[in-house]
Amino acid sequence: MNKTKNNSKQLVSVLIALFLALSTATAVAGEGSDPLDGTDGGADWDGDGLTNAEEQTHGTNMNNADSDGDGLPDGWEVANGLNPTSGGDANADPDGDGLSNAAEYAKGTNPNNPTPTVRRTTSTSSRPTPTRRASGRRRIPDAYDPT
């Protein structure tokens, strides 16, 4: 009788171990990450600038670049101190410059700085406008030559 009892305990132990091994080996979180794959965390599946691990930290969706649907990528919102899970951020104007966060994002300016720095580029070249021969000996500046 003792031998049967030991065999039953062993069988139950083996079945439990098998069940646990199979259930954790195929476990995939609801958002698609694999808890057994340590490389998942460093990836950025949706290309929003946040790694998958950062997405989990901030409560955003690692498969959607704009978790709250406000038109601003999650990574941009986090980098600028906004809430990537609140859809009201796009219309806000935290720096009071008259531009909404959506406009600041579109212009590439900082939503927390009311006086954005605009890069100005000027040509320092003293070379004349390039020209090339159109037909015969007449030369037409490139800006006017349709070819």
Helices (H), the chain: 2-25, 52-58, 74-79, 101-107
pTM score, two decimals? 0.56
* Tokens matching residue 96: 């009071």
* Tokens matching residue 41: 């965390």
Average pLDDT, the chain: 76
Domain ranges, ordered by start, for the chain: 40-107
Per-residue model confidence as pLDDT tens digits over 71-126: 999 999 999 999 999 999 999 999 999 999 999 999 999 999 998 655 444 555 55
Contact 47, 55 (CB under 8 A): no
The closest alpha carbon to 59, from 86, 89, 88, belongs to 86
Per-residue model confidence as pLDDT tens digits over 61-71: 989 999 999 99
Q: Which residues are bridge partners to 141 per DSSP?
A: 131
Q: What percent of the chain has pLDDT over 90?
A: 43
Longest dimension (CA), the chain: 114
